Structure 1
Amino acid sequence: MSQTASQSVPPSSPSSTPSASAEVAPAFSPLYQQIKALIMRGLQGGEWKPGEAIPSELDLAARFKVSQGTVRKAIDELAAENLLVRRQGKGTFVATHNEQKIQYRFLRLQPEEGAPQPMQREFLDCRRLRAPADIVRSLDLRSGDMVVQLRRTLSQAGRPVVLDDIWLPGSLFKGLTAERLTEYRGPLYSLFESEFGVRMIRAEEKIRAIAADRSVAALLGVADGAPLLSVERLSLTYGDRPVELRRGLYNTTQHHYRNELS
């Protein structure tokens, strides 16, 4: 079986190599990485929607004119990155933020005792405004662009644990209102995915310790000056496009921040 990948390109064309079919895949990258880039292109272009099955490994191997093993290796990486989900006996599906294991994968806060439990959220504010200069830089916007700013708390057992300030590009989230946020019962990222077509696929975080000021202390039910964990998260969609800036303040009195390193 030929080890080249093409999509409806004549065999004699110089574009019949995987590297020419995917601009993001350099010619020197391993073949499975080039196939991974082609699958990513399909995901980014909406060829397969969140929750939908992608073609079988055999079908993709025939489409890209590579071995099934090459396709499997590409899919393995995409599954490890939580972009695809394998289901035994059913096939491979585009991951969705409705998946239980994906819903809270960016929230690393864990209780000191017992298993993590879903948190109750309360939206305190939702408004549209012109993006401040620091938000313009973080979200790669133009000066004067509009953003949607959200403020909410996350609580467990009636005790506030997280205060989030969230900024979203206004052009991507037209129609997002306080009423819609309050009505929606699923994960916030699931709402972004299903109603606005914005899927967060990875995030970058900066963490530092701060002391609670009076207004924050009142919202989190802690003393003025109490230590909090400040977590700034930049979430990105396909093509490493920034689509959310989230600044969270965590009360770690009964929780800790947990991460796995490899």
Structure 2
Amino acid sequence: MTDLNGTGKTNEDNASSIALAPPSFSPLYRQIKGLLLQKLEAGQWQPGEAIPSEMDLSQQLRVSQGTVRKAIDELAAENLLIRKQGKGTFVATHSERHVQYRFLRLRPDAGGLDEEGPAQRHILFCKRIRASAELGAQIGLRSGDAIIHIRRTLSMQSTPAVLEDIWLPGHAFKGITAEQITHYQGPTYALLEKEFGVRMVRAVEKLKAILPPDAEAAQLLHVDSTTPLLSVERVTYTYNDTPMELRRGLYRTDTHHYLNELN
């Protein structure tokens, strides 16, 4: 038969090669992990709620208990599930104390978080605006889409330590107000989880040392224009790597440091 493609093979030969190409392989436990992630994303199990036992899941999904255990182990390592000895496995929530500080890496040079107490939030504004092309691109929005812009300071023992600008997709956080954020007693991520059903599960950060970018930032942080600050830019994701927050923070490091544990 005539060679129609210049490769020395007929069309039938190429079709046969394509048909025989091996499919991409995914271990069974990874497939089960994907199914469990779908259930989490769909809200079948709410934050703080216990999921079915490994035995029940293995029966439902018709796989071995060991396969289910391996899938759950990975989800627990990613802080999406929490194992509690003698109680079962639960959907992680930002209301849990040990999860509350997962994304807040600023630590006092002297003493610990318990001695210092929680940060005091001061919301400077919370307003609904139109996304610029640059901002929108980082959280999956188009230029002109609605976006929530929050500016706040975090103070440690009444001294301003962090100035943050936070941008959230307008469609996911309709009705959020400065009063709501101010009066909520727990972490902001717990508020977003509880009131809007959006759970932040992963973040990517970029850090660099800078000087205060303008007089307003220096004034809000009670520093002068020559004080070095740590600039932290974070994009935070919910399930399926969907970006849900852009956050840019300026950190004072004269009495605090940024702690990152690697394992």
Unpaired runs of 5+ residues, structure 1, are: 1-25
Residue correspondence of structure 1 range 15-94 to structure 2 within 5 A: 28-94=25-91
What's the secondary structure of 2:46's corresponding residue?
Answer: coil
Pairwise CA distance, 1:118: 1.9
Between 230-239 and 213-222, the greater mean CA deviation after superposition: 213-222
The amino acid across from 2:167 in the alignment is: W
Q: 1:197 to 1:171 in 2, by over 3 A?
A: same
1:255 aligned to 2:238? no
What's the secondary structure of 1:98's corresponding residue?
Answer: coil
TM-score after normalising by structure 2: 0.87
Root-mean-square deviation (CA, aligned residues, Å) is 1.2
What's the secondary structure of 2:162's corresponding residue?
Answer: strand
Between 237-246 and 28-37, the greater mean CA deviation after superposition: 28-37
**Corresponding residue of 1:153:** 153
Write the distance in 2 (CA, Å) between the matches of 1:42 and 1:30. 19
Write the distance in 2 (CA, Å) between the matches of 1:51 and 1:143. 36
Pairwise CA distance, 1:261: 2.1
Write the distance in 2 (CA, Å) between the matches of 1:66 and 1:257. 43
Q: C-alpha offsets along residues 41-99 of structure 1, whole Å, 9 cap, x if unaligned?
A: 10011111111110000000111111111111111111111101111111111111101
What's the secondary structure of 1:40's corresponding residue?
Answer: helix
1:143 aligned to 2:143? yes
Identity %: 62
Pairwise CA distance, 1:27: 5.1
Residue correspondence of structure 1 range 200-215 to structure 2 within 5 A: 200-212=200-212, 213-215=214-216
Q: C-alpha offsets along residues 99-155 of structure 1, whole Å, 9 cap, x if unaligned?
A: 111112011111112112421111111111001221111111022101110011111
Tell me if structure 1 keeps the 8 A contact 2:121–2:182. no
Residue correspondence of structure 1 range 125-136 to structure 2 within 5 A: 125-136=125-136
The amino acid across from 2:76 in the alignment is: A
Pairwise CA distance, 1:183: 2.0
Structure 1 segments of 4+ aligned residues over 2 angstroms from their partners: none
Q: C-alpha offsets along residues 140-197 of structure 1, whole Å, 9 cap, x if unaligned?
A: 1022101110011111111111001000000111010112122211110011001111
1:98 aligned to 2:95? yes
TM-score after normalising by structure 1: 0.88
What's the secondary structure of 1:163's corresponding residue?
Answer: strand
Unpaired runs of 5+ residues, structure 2, are: 1-22
**Corresponding residue of 1:231:** 232
**Corresponding residue of 2:13:** none
Larger CA Rg, structure 1 vs 2: 2
What's the secondary structure of 1:225's corresponding residue?
Answer: coil
The amino acid across from 1:127 in the alignment is: K
What's the secondary structure of 1:194's corresponding residue?
Answer: helix
**Corresponding residue of 1:112:** 109
Pairwise CA distance, 1:205: 0.4
What's the secondary structure of 2:26's corresponding residue?
Answer: coil
Write the distance in 1 (CA, Å) between the matches of 2:48 and 2:221. 36
The amino acid across from 1:141 in the alignment is: L
Write the distance in 2 (CA, Å) between the matches of 1:143 and 1:183. 32
**How many correspondences in the alignment?**
237
